[in-house]
Amino acid sequence: MTKGALGWPPRAAAAFAGLLLSASLAAGQVGHNPNLVNPNLASADELAALPHLDEALAAKIVEVRPFLGILPLHGLLSASLSADQLDELYRAMFLPIDLNSAGRDEILLIPAVGDKMAHEFEEYRPYRAMAEFRREIGKYVDDDEVARLEQYVFVPIDLNTASREDILSLPGVGDRMAHEFEEYRPYRAMAEFRREIGKYVDEDEVARLERYVKLDG
């Protein structure tokens, strides 16, 4: 019988490799973003301390939110701030974009991302997990730059199969809410998610959370 490099039959070696890949794909779905303020979650004081945001603009962000994408936020800010000011601000604050559905105009709002890198973001769609993004974008930039870019993106998690770790990677989700996500499985439709999670938070918060989740077939 032919054996692979590990001395295992090819079929067994392939199965083991698949398990390793599955394990790597189980990592958190939202990029680690310790250096970026989330405009949907930060207080007015936290926002006002950021570059080019005064108290009035910070208060406006709090009044209008939740933002269900970066473009509505960008539209609000671009009425008051220049392109250079926005670039500096987005190095400190950003609303993560969906790797699988974000338009080119959204991707280009990430500081220091031009058309070439935006093309690479799109080239490897669909992403199943952040591990795929790290691997593919890591072909073009070093680990530090991958880590920087990762802060700006997410891959939606599947409501019925996501691990507790994946759920806890969602911005603003703690153990109590993660428990509620799991409590009502299996979800048959997004309407069920909205109804059940709506027992605990208001419609705006349900909408904010919904952008990070999906239901696979």
List pLDDT tens digits, range 89-110.
999 999 999 999 999 999 999 9
For residues 183 and 208, membership in a common domain is answered with: yes
Asked if residue 124 is part of any domain, the answer here is yes
Provide the pLDDT confidence category of residue 1 given band limits of 50, 70 and 90: very low
Asked if residue 210 is part of any domain, the answer here is yes
For 10-65, the pLDDT digits (tens) are: 444 443 333 333 333 444 477 677 789 999 999 999 999 999 999 999 999 999 99
For residues 149 and 194, membership in a common domain is answered with: no
Domain range for 143: 97-154
Residue ending a domain, choose from 136, 154, 172: 154
Q: What is the pLDDT of residue 108?
A: 98
For residues 150 and 162, membership in a common domain is answered with: no
Query: For the CA atoms of the chain, what is the radius of gyration?
Result: 20
Asked if residue 107 is part of any domain, the answer here is yes
Q: Alpha helix (H) ranges present in 49-174?
A: 55-64, 70-78, 83-89, 104-107, 115-123, 130-137, 143-150, 164-168
- Domains held by the chain: number: 2
CATH number at residue 133: 1.10.150
Q: What is the mean pLDDT of residues 130-134?
A: 95
For residues 113 and 161, membership in a common domain is answered with: no
Q: What is the pLDDT of residue 25?
A: 41
Asked if residue 15 is part of any domain, the answer here is no
Q: What is the pLDDT of residue 142?
A: 98
Q: What is the pLDDT of residue 8?
A: 44
Q: Do 26 and 41 meet the contact criterion of CB atoms below 8 Å apart?
A: no
For residues 150 and 161, membership in a common domain is answered with: no
Q: What is the pLDDT of residue 32?
A: 73
d(CA 87, CA 191): 37
Asked if residue 180 is part of any domain, the answer here is yes
